[in-house]
Chain A
Amino acid sequence: MGIFKYEDCPLKHYVRLEGWLPFARRRLKALRANRKPSQQRGLRYFTFCAVGAIDVLMLEVAKVIKKNDGRFDNVVFFDRTDDQVLETQRRIPGAIGFPGKFTPIVIDEDPVADAHIEAEEPLGEKTRDLDVKAVRERERRLNVRKQFRLQFPFDVINLDLEEFLFKPLDPLPGQVVKAMKRVFEWQRQPLINARGQKEHLNGFTLMFTTQIGPPVMHPDYLQMLRGYLQQNIASQPNLLDQLEERSGLRDLDRLQNDRFDLFFKLSVPKVIAAMLLEEDWYIDPDTGVTIFQFDRDSAGGPYTLLHMVMDVNRQKPDQDHRAPNTHPQSVVEAYSKVARQIFKVPERVVVREELDLDVINQSLEAILARRRIYCPDEPQPAA
């Protein structure tokens, strides 16, 4: 049915339908609540949708994302190559596409561009560098970063990276972690509406995908992950009981060595929660973190994917209105509640045998039919 790798994977589509879609719907509802008709706006969505753009089209079919005058101009995406950006835009016309490698571009230290964004003044064009490819590439990369930053904030951020969160040779805390922190920082920027008014987001929805692993993780990362778990257990000793209930273990070293997958699943959401906290956000304790897990075969061997979905709220009062290095009591309590929830509520393991394939295929067919409207000359899969 699908023409791009994994786009019609029923396991993945189950996650889209049962994880991403309800969370995005809820975000839209929250966005619409208590707004006058004249203040309504569309849901702003950032994604690594890949060329197939299934997630975007699913949200459009479900009327969560709406086009403006035929354009998906509330959708922003990153693709690695210019070819891919072009192909993606073919399927979601009018979406705002950025080419390049997301993490290095986002974490690139660029005080000039940042200062420019603050000051809203044009960059000077004069440079001592000659007009050669390397200089142009650098300028373009800075511009991608600047323009991307100007797109913030988003109501839904879907970091569907499908790769390792911690790369073996990547120094602590890792490029992806640094990029995520930067993204959470940029989420604090106000949205400027058509009338020039500023709107600060009260919350957003975060979707994050990672592989469990790598099999041989650098000791620094292991230490960091263990540190998060230790901190939680130290502040809430009863978490050990919950850990024992889930794994039969009370010892973190044994958990790390014998049940690495669980060790990873418990600690990574903590990493995200801690990053959010540092950037003046927190995970909504009422909905907590929903984790989906499934296995996938590949040429390089099978691997396990984790899809995490969560609602994120802005701390109130915000960091500009409270003492440094403190958080509101409600946020501290929320953080503890989320920590307990992560220990207590197991992930939803998605297996093909338990899926209602009719429902999944019907949904995929509707999405692909929509895609054919935008891209009628879609190359067909080889027979």
Chain B
Amino acid sequence: MPKIKVHEKALAHLSRGLYRSPASALRELVSNAWDANATTVTINTNFPNFYQLSIEDDGIGFNRSDFAQLMQGGIGNSQKRPSDLKLINDRPVIGRFGIGMLGIAQVCGAFIVTSKPRDGSEGFRARVQLFDLLKERLDADDPDVVASHKPEAPEYPDEVYAGNYDFEEFDADSARYGTRILADDLHPTFIKTFQESLVGSKAVPMNWSKAIEVISSKRSLQELGDYWRLLWELAAACPLPYLSAAVLPDSLITQDHKRLKKYGFNVVIDGIDLAKPVRLQDNPGGYTWHLIEEQRQQVYGRNLVFHGYIVVQEGLNLRPDEFRGIMIRIKDVAVGYYDTSMLDYRINEGPRSRWLTGEIYVSEGLEDALNIDRDSFNKFHPQYKALQTYIHNVLQKTIFPNVYKKIEVRSEARAESREQAHTQHLKEVLKAHTGTTVNLKQTAAGDDERSVQITENAKGLTLNLPPQESLKTKKNHRQLASAIMAVFEMSLREPGKEKQRTRFRELLLDLLDKW
């Protein structure tokens, strides 16, 4: 049978628009640095001008011939690292898709790659220039972009080029070990967007913990602008530790925090040392949570291993909005960002879904379910479906039932406290008008349930109020009805209709004033 060939133009197209945000493109480069055993990745955005964007790691680097090989056909040629490759500090191998380096092409037309390998092999500095108007030129079969066509299949080009590169003078003595990518032909739209995002925006504190405080006070990252969003998304997406193990209740992330710390991996952007932007503390309504212990499943003969947590901030919307939903991480790297649909959870939980956040760490499987942008999943992939079913089960059978229970308890407590406050208020209003102590009692069922009886003795006045259940009105209105009846009876103690009318009006208005 004839084989199916995928057109090479498709890949060239992809090289210009794969990721949905600059943070996603940087995330891929950070993942490369992780696999290169880097301990620190330094990103510089040329803040506040944004004329350049650089990402530099102190990893093993790669040599001139590796680079040439990558440029001459290696881009997009999925070259997963060998499974026996050992990374430092027991890091899992993230594995490259291969197009990561070109991901930066989304925001620039050229970049310089410099690398000095730690193994002593030949370092290099190369300028990569991407072709302008690539899509149009591909469609027009521009010979500079589309090489000669195969005689046996003239509709297929032999090769497709996305740009060119040139080695430049490399000073090995002054270069640092590792790899640096410097995008210097950043698109004016990118520059302008980021420059404008700073207008009226708060300065980002160098201390990331303080920055998180600022972020947590905002409804959405949009209020802070694209630069803050870049920092937050990068911090959320990269395989970084949390600010501390105490940022979530009940040691939910203690083990993961410890594990991530052990990897010894830092991402510093414009001098800000990032950590996961997760922090839930001091909510007056408390939290409901569920720890997902490691789950092992076989899906069509393949392993799916994951663990994680889900937390609900009771009665209070999460801030920023971008923090709500469920984030899936494969080998500790986020796939997209927090999914507010909670993997397409079908039950409408109303405002409660805006209180929920969670992370699922997938340590084995699910990679085949990734879409090419690594920001989303093929939702019909069996492993994705298996994970989705598990999560939805947890949401439906554990999380939300617990949330509802807590809502009920909170509602009852609130109602009780409100009732006490109203009773106290009624007493104070009556005391203010009579100048004597007022006691309130509920008439026992079976007595005259519909009227208010007032008795007076040396200790003051005692009002026997009808049992609330006997008042034929809405439950919410019963206490008010009873109080109005009380002030009515009190006003009847005045001599003459005019005084009664005046007293009733005063009592009623005072009662309603703080009800």
Contacts and interface: CB of A to CB of B under 8 A. Distances in A.
Interface stretch (A80-88, A285-293, A316-324, A341-349): A80-88
A129 to B, nearest CB: 11
A41 interface: no
A196 B196 CA distance: 17
Given A86-B182, A89-B44, A377-B176, A69 B206 contact: yes
Interface of B is mostly: loop
Contacts of A132: 132-133
B165 interface: no
Contacts of A93: 270-271
Contacts of A137: 185
Given A125-B189, A140-B188, A133 B52 contact: no
B133 A140 contact: no
B37 to A, nearest CB: 16
A98 B49 CA distance: 8
A85 B48 CA distance: 13
A133 B132 contact: yes
Nearest to A137: B185
Contacts of B47: 94
B51 A131 contact: no
Nearest to A194: B203
Contacts of B44: 86, 89-90
Given A96-B48, A97-B49, A132-B132, A86 B54 contact: yes
Say which size band chain B's interface belongs to. 35 or more
A97 B47 CA distance: 8
B508 interface: no
Contacts of A89: 44, 46
A98 B207 CA distance: 25
Contacts of B195: 143, 147
B271 A377 contact: no
B205 A69 contact: yes
Nearest to B206: A70
B184 A82 contact: yes
Contact of B188 (A90, A94, A136, A382): A136
Contact of B51 (A70, A90, A144): A144
B46 A377 contact: no
A67 to B, nearest CB: 9
Interface string A93-114: 1101111000000000000000
* For the complex of A and B, 4 pairs with smallest distance between CB atoms: A82-B184, A70-B206, A132-B132, A139-B188
24 contacts: A71-B206, A82-B52, A82-B112, A85-B51, A85-B52, A86-B46, A86-B52, A86-B54, A86-B182, A89-B44, A89-B46, A94-B270, A98-B51, A99-B184, A122-B196, A125-B189, A131-B133, A131-B187, A136-B187, A140-B186, A143-B51, A144-B51, A147-B195, A379-B174
Interface of B: 44, 46-49, 51-52, 54, 58, 109-110, 112, 129, 132-133, 173-176, 182, 184-189, 191-192, 195-196, 203, 205-207, 270-271
